[in-house]
Amino acid sequence: MLLTAHAEPWIYVATGQAFDDEMRVRIAEHRARRSAGWHTVEAPVELAAAIGAQPHRPVLIDCLTLWLTNLMLGGHDVAAASAALEHALAARHAPTVLVGNEVGLGIVPDTPLGRAFRDEAGRLNQRMAALAGRVVFMVAGLPMIVK
């Protein structure tokens, strides 16, 4: 993996929230797959602060799409939170991996919230890709190097 080649502890920043039993099971399965070298930090909204607290440790953020969902449904300022994230990423001194979903490849959502989410996710992915030294698009478990 990209981060486990570096010294542990590795920081897993989780943005998902367990609002129902199915998500609780998903989170538990996800945790069980991680080795003891991983330290989990839960940051459903305060992502910039979470990674800012670990500037010298390898970090995996999983995932930007859930984080964006939390921001939008919570009525947070997406532009300000994204700018804070960019600032926190620029201040890091260790490898950082961002996971996000590409939601703009399907049909146009039929609700205003769905369309707003798709547009915001696209903008967020573009901003993060512009900062990244490497961008990998995963399709059917296969990596496609974009940048």
What would the DSSP string read from start to end of 10-50? EEEEE-----SHHHHHHHHHHHHHS-TTEEEEE-SS-HHHH
Q: Which of 6, 30, 76, 87 is catalytic?
A: 30
User: Catalytic annotation on 6?
Assistant: no
The secondary structure of residue 6, as a DSSP letter, is S
CA pair distance 95, 30, nearest whole angstrom: 21
Q: Which two tokens stand for residue 115?
A: 């369309």
Q: Which two tokens stand for residue 126?
A: 């573009």
The catalytic site residues sit at 30
